[in-house]
Every structure is written in C-alpha cells, then in structure tokens.
Structure 1
Amino acid sequence: MGKKKTDDKDLKENAVLAEEEQADKEATEVEELLDTEIIEEDEVPAVEKEEEDESLRDQFVRLQADFANFRNRTQRERVELYQRANEDLLLEILPVLDHYEMGLQNAEQHNPDPAVLDGFKLVFDQFQSVLTKFNLKPIEAVGEEFDPHKHEALTHMPSDDFAAEICSNQIRRGYMFGEKLLRAAQVVVSSGPAEAIEGGE
C-alpha cells in the first residue's frame, strides 16, 4: 500500500515536472517568437527609413542640379541681354560716327583752321576710345583680302595699286563687337590692273 502511494506520488511529481517543463518550453517558444516579431518590426521600419532617406537624397541631388542649371541659364540670359542691349545702342551710334568721320575728312581736305581741325580730331579720338571700352573694334579693309564674313562688296573695279580680290577702297567702315560681326565694311574690291583685264579680253 505504501509502495503504491509512493508510485502515485512519483507519477504525480513526474507529471507536474513534465507539465512544468512543457510550460517552460512553451514560454520559451513564446518569448523567442515575441523576440523575433520585435526584431522583424524593428527591421521593417529601418529598411523603409533607409529607402526614404535614399529617396530624399535623390530629390536633394536633383534639386541642386536644377538650381545650378537655373543659375547658369539666368546668368547666360543676363549676359546675352546685356550684349543685345549694347549691340542695339552701338548700331544706333555708328551712323553718327560715320557722319562725323566724313565731316572730319572733308574738313581735312579743305584745310580749315588747324586749331578747329585739331579739336574735331580730339573729339573723334575720344569717341573711338569710348567705343573701344565697349569692345567695339573697327575692321581693317583697304589693302586686305576680301573676306565675305567681314566685308560687303559694293562693286569690282580695276586697280593698278591692288591685286585682284583685294579691297581697294572703303565706303563705310565695319565693326566687330568682340568676336561677333556687328556691321560689315562696305568696300570696293579690286579686279586687278586694267591693262591685265584688257589683255585677257
């Protein structure tokens, strides 16, 4: 009888131990599962945050590039506007300069008072100096080979002083605005000596 009670007790203790072990095992599994879920929950926001950060970085880089392009385009447009305004103003001034130069040449031919002539030359030189500051340069024409990019040929005429296709006379002075042609020089182009032309005919 006593042995049977002992066996029953042992069985109950074993059963309790087994239940405790099972409970511990299940608790451990639950804890591991919870830990895994917490880790996964922490990892998902980290991945999303990294993707969001990458997207923001891309947007920032694109914004920087757009701003740099906008700034460069604005500066380029400002320079072009400034140049166009100067071109328009210079084109209005050039006819005045032409007439002044023609008047000065006529005055030199008729030998007026030297003091008056020197005064007109001084004003003309000052005028040219101001235009030079704005990067306006006269085009050399007489004695130069005809260049359709700089010269406008009004006519061909025989010349004993200049070979064929050389500018023998300048009717209107041309000007360069920096590297750009502002106004072509109107010239007479030599067709060579008159005797050579007659002999060729």
Structure 2
Amino acid sequence: MSTKETKEQANMDERQEEVLEQETVSDPTAELEGEEVASPQPAEEDARLVELQRQAEDNQNRYLRAQADFDNFRRRTQKEKEELAQYASMKLITQLLPVLDNFERALLTGGEAAEGDSFAKGVDMIYRQLTQVLDAEGLKRMEVVGQQFDPELHQAIMRVESDEHEEGTVIEAVQSGYVLKDKVIRPAMVKVSG
C-alpha cells in the first residue's frame, strides 16, 4: 500500500468511528460499554400518576368531610347556646312551683273563713305578683280539664267512672301542670274518666 492509500484508509476509519459515535449518542437505548441506558418506563409513570391522583382525591374528600363536620358542630353549638339561654331560668322556676302550689292552697282555705279576709287579700296579692313574674319568664299553666288524656302532658293518678264524659277525658286537675315557653316542665296530675 502506498502512503496515499494508507491516508485514505485512515480517513475512512475515522469517519466510520465518528458515524458510530453519533449513532450511539443519538440512540439512548444503545449499549455503552456493556451497560444499558436506563429509560423511563411509561407504565411506572402512569401508575405513579394514578396513585398521586388517588391521594389528591382522598385528601380532597377528607377536607370536605372535615369542613362539613365543622359546619355541623358550629350549628349544633349555636342551637345548644340558644336553648341554654331560652331555658336558663328553668331550675329557678321548678323550685318555685311548690311555693305557687302553697299559695293556691292558702287561697282556697283562707277564702272560706270570714276572719281571714285580710289574710286572704294579702296572700292573693302575693300570688298575683308571683304569677306575673313567672308569666314574664314564659311560664304558663296548662288548662287540662275537658281535654283528652295525653301522657306527655298529663300524669293520671286516678281513673273515675263518669257518664258525662267520654272515656279518656280529663275531668279534674289534682295538681297543675306547667309549660315553660314550649317545653313541659311539669305534667299535670289529673283524674281521667274511664
């Protein structure tokens, strides 16, 4: 071989090496020194994306549930606060009911004796004053005579045979029942026709 042929052969060898290097660089899946280039797996990426979307949905659902629970809690506490304010005087009024009963009894017996006329007037004034205070708090006496017996409003203590009234009618109130605003705080003790 001549020098010219040798140079041409060397140039061809160099070009082949350059072409091989370019193909290796441009092909990411080509082997480099016996090792494969790691390429991302589309299936793994899709699975990861699906998992992240599921987690995002779970977090969104938790957030919405927590928000709904908080709203329910806020409404419930507001309602409890309103009920507490509305029935705050219930304990006091419950304690005053026996006093009210005693005033009624005193008026019934005091009115019968002529010498107790001034006593009856005094007790009557106290009774009216007390009932005005209790009325202002929302206490109302139940009117039960002549009504159908209702176990939520009445406590039957006796069944009486009566031809005048149909069965289950309240014919006498032995002890008055009271309602505070719209809540029964003491049912009426009654006699019921049977």
Instruction: Output the TM-score relative to the length of structure 1.
Output: 0.62
Unpaired runs of 5+ residues, structure 1, are 192-201
Matches within 5 A, 1:51-200: 53-54=56-57, 56-72=59-75, 74-75=77-78, 86-110=89-113, 112-113=117-118, 116=122, 119-120=125-126, 122-132=128-138, 136-157=139-160, 162-165=164-167, 166-190=169-193
- Distance in 1, Cα, partners of 2:62 & 2:193: 65
Task: Provide the aligned length of Structure 1 versus Structure 2.
Answer: 181
Q: What amino acid is the match of 2:96?
A: I
Unpaired runs of 5+ residues, structure 2, are 31-35
Give the superposed CA RMSD. 4.3
Q: Which has the higher helix share?
A: 1
- Distance in 2, Cα, partners of 1:164 & 1:50: 71
127 and 108 in structure 1: CA distance in 2 versus 1, 3 angstrom threshold: farther
102 and 60 in structure 1: CA distance in 2 versus 1, 3 angstrom threshold: same
Please tell me whether the aligned partners of residues 164 and 189 of structure 1 are also in contact (alpha carbons under 8 angstroms). Answer: no
Q: What amino acid is the match of 1:120?
A: I
Instruction: Output the TM-score relative to the length of structure 2.
Output: 0.63
Please tell me whether the aligned partners of residues 108 and 117 of structure 1 are also in contact (alpha carbons under 8 angstroms). Answer: no
Could you list the per-position Cα deviations for residues 1-27 of structure 1 after superposition, in whole angstroms to 9, with x for gaps in the alignment?
8xx554443333222211111111112
120 and 87 in structure 1: CA distance in 2 versus 1, 3 angstrom threshold: closer
